[in-house]
Structure 1
Amino acid sequence: MDASVSVVVPAWNEERTIAATLTALHRIRGAAGKPLWSELIVVDDGSTDRTADEAAGLATVVIEHANRLGKGAAMRTGWMRAQGEIVLFADADLGASAVHLAELLAPLRSGEADMAIARFAAPAVNGGFGFVKRFAGNGIFRLTGLKVEAPLSGQRAVRSQLLRQFDRLPEGFGIEVGMTIDAARLGCRICEIPLPLQHRETGKSLSGFWHRGSQMIDISRTMLARWRKPVR
């Protein structure tokens, strides 16, 4: 029997995109026409818009944080609630392209991998200078010896048993880097799959640079905490 799947969607102020993303996730079906997942969990991380309302009719459950705690905290809230043997994480701004996340499940269901990470196609907009991505990738390599091309991708399928073995993961944008480092240190099999995914590009705007600055701070804290911690 195929492993059961829980989908977790962390969201913050995504009223414009979340309905399209969840609708696409409902299109993820197997050969028999049945959904490949058993539950679809949205975690609204203290949104100030109608994100939770937009998700209510499409998600199995919507969990609302009273205040914004960070992406990592939202993901953790979701997987702590999840019942599936595999947890599939999806960002809320993927829109119709979220249907392609089905391809992340195959390596885990076949027993070939413990974590599958989606690799985005080249962005339509040149969002930044790639410094944060290179910084994250180099940090993962120095701490684990693992080379990854999509160190910041939040689109990933992970065995729930593996999630329970991770160290205390950061609450902010360092979560993906922390997950990858912890999985590699545990000797888990990690694969990357190129998928035609699309999401909102921040571009070279003030908000974009602010977002990448926040990422850099969170990733730095994550790597420092793991550098100080001996490998098990």
Structure 2
Amino acid sequence: MTLITCIVPAHNEAPRIAAVLQVLTRHPLIAEVIVVDDGSRDGTAEVAAAFPVTLLRLSPNRGKTAALAEGLRAARHDLVMLIDSDLTGLSAADITALVMPLRQGRAQATLSLRGNAPRLWRWIGLDYISGERVFSRALLNGREGDLLRLPKFGFEVFLNTLWIAQGLRVAVVDWPGVASPAKAAKRGLWPGLAADAAMLADMFRTIRPTAALSQIVTLRRRRV
């Protein structure tokens, strides 16, 4: 059986991360859970430390891309799963569903489609910037320098570029009962909107808007 490392980037998620780790650390398909605490100012690290995980702490906050790069560097297994730390409604069945297309040989990478994904994403059947994925870490061999040059929230669209260049078959896994809280709900309206705007700016510093549209079209075509 292929062993899986699960990487969980986290920033100020003390109220939410325990529910996620309860599922991940008990799942029989996951051999290792790495939590990367990205400069949190709350008790995120302390909550994570209560679980059987490898805890990496970054200071100051360096952004999601840097947190994932640290987790990937520390991972002991080739097959990696990325899971956001703020999910609600996550179950063991959801984790199994995200892994099975690879174990069955139907796909070489998977993406989640959460129940509260934007209506457009659910209509087209694809969330191309989903934070929940499974893929081979070997895809990033030799790309460590590229990761370091990415903006804070450029990882997902950069990874899409690699998947497309490699011609990977991608499975989209429906997670109707899983949600990711809006930033405005966690931080307040205006700070949340500012965080969303910064994330979009980072994405479009990584790829052009026309390239983002091309990613959506190509990934939809390669769905299995």
RMSD of aligned Cα (Å): 2.6
Structure 2 residue identity aligned to 1:186: Q
Q: Which amino acid aligns with 1:185?
A: A
Q: Which residue of 1 aligns with 2:108?
A: 114
- Look up the match of 2:72: 79
Q: State the 4+ residue runs in structure 1 displaced beyond 6 angstroms.
A: none
Once residues 103 and 207 of structure 1 are traced to their aligned partners in structure 2, the CA distance between those partners, rounded to angstroms, is 34
2:183 to 183, 196, 202: 202
2-structure distance, mates of 1:12, 1:212: 15
Instruction: Give, as a single letter, the amino acid of the residue that structure 2 aligns with 1:18.
Output: I
In structure 2, the residue matched to 1:156 is 133
Gap runs ≥5 in structure 2: 212-224
Deviations 1:123-182 (CA, angstroms, capped at 9, x unpaired): 5xxx8x97xx7xxxxxxxxxxxxx872012100111122232657132411211111111
**Cα drift, residue 98 of structure 1:** 4.9
Equivalent positions of 1:88-99 (< 5 A) are: 88-99=81-92
Q: Give the deviation of 1:26 after TM superposition.
A: 2.7
Alpha-carbon separation, structure 1, partners of 2:89 and 2:116: 17
Larger deviation: 93-102 or 38-47? 93-102
C-alpha displacement at 1:101, in angstroms? 2.3
Q: CA deviation at 1:199?
A: 2.0
Distance (Å, rounded) in 2 between the aligned partners of 1:165 and 1:95: 35
Unaligned runs of 5+ in 1: 29-34, 134-146, 228-232
1:191 aligns with 2:171: yes
Structure 1 residue aligned with 2:20: 21
Task: Number of aligned residue pairs: give it.
Answer: 202
* Aligned partner (choices 173, 195, 210) of residue 153 of structure 2: 173
Instruction: Say if 2:24 and 2:30, in contact at 8 Å, map to a contact too.
Output: no
Matched position secondary structure for 1:194: strand
**Does the 8 Å contact 1:18/1:95 carry over to 2?**
no
Distance 2:46 2:151 in 1: 24
1:211 is matched with which residue: 192, 195, 199? 195
Structure with more of its chain in helix, by fraction = 2
In structure 2, what is the Cα distance between the partners aligned to 1:22 and 1:80? Answer: 20
Query: What is the one-letter code of the residue matched to 1:90?
Result: I
Q: Does the CA-based 8 Å contact 1:42-1:59 persist in structure 2? A: no
TM-score w.r.t. length of structure 2: 0.81
Identity of aligned residues (%): 29
1:182 aligns with 2:182: no
Q: Distance in 1 between matches of 2:10 and 2:52?
A: 12
